[in-house]
Homo-oligomer: A and B are copies of this chain.
Amino acid sequence: MEFDEAVKGRRSIRKYGKRRVENSVIEEVLDLARYAPSSMNGQPWTFTVVRDEGIKRKLVEIKNKYCPIEKQEYRADFLLNASAIVVVCVDSEKSYDRGIENGVLAAATLLLAAHARGLGSVYMSAGRQDEPAVSEAIREILGIPSQVDPISILPLGYPDEIPEPKNMVSIHELVSYECFGKR
């Protein structure tokens, strides 16, 4: 797929068909994700691929428990229908105090790589800065050591929806020159 097409065509997908996403395809996507930049090339990432129904349910439970009121229409139950869920973590001993940034740089590449392989996904956080209990619970579910921080939860599945066109802010409202807000 052409690069621009991958970027413009990627959408957040929360409905997946029953077709299994093979490990070989997931590893192609993860292989691309690890080309993301990281602080001092520390490559602090780990990718845990979850298919087990029981583990998925526990992740859903945690995400729903800590879902803020304004996001209630985006509850996490749909994760159960994903063929696999990738939990992106970052080892704080290799991330030079840039854990979230390092994790999200890989997650962003992963989302695009998934789309380029015909897969659907959606970005979900694996933590809340104001609520360390979320990361702690995910650590417990997946047996993650204390120095490793869960950053993102990225479901993978073949899309079973075509999202409505996305409302996008015009580029001219987002760009300024030399100083903030100067067009």
Could you tell me which A residues sit within 8 Å of B by CB distance?
1-8, 10, 12, 27, 30-32, 34-37, 39-41, 43, 45-52, 55, 68, 70-71, 74, 89, 96-98, 100-101, 104-105, 107-109, 111-113, 116, 122-123, 125, 128-130, 142-145, 148, 152, 166-169, 171, 174-181
Contact = CB atoms under 8 A, between A and B. Distances in A.
A111 B34 contact: no
A142 B34 contact: no
Contact of A48 (B49, B51, B178): B178
Find the residue from A35, A50, A130, A142 having the highest chain B CB count within 10 A: A35
Contacts of A55: 178-179
A171 B34 CA distance: 8
A32 B4 contact: yes
Contact of A31 (B2, B129, B171, B180): B171
Contact of A180 (B36, B71, B130, B142): B142
A31 to B, nearest CB: 5
Contacts of A177: 48-51
A41 B167 contact: yes
Given A2-B2, A178-B48, A180-B46, A108 B36 contact: yes
Nearest to A12: B37
A4 B116 contact: yes
A96 B113 contact: no
Given A1-B2, A109-B7, A123 B168 contact: no
Contacts of A111: 37
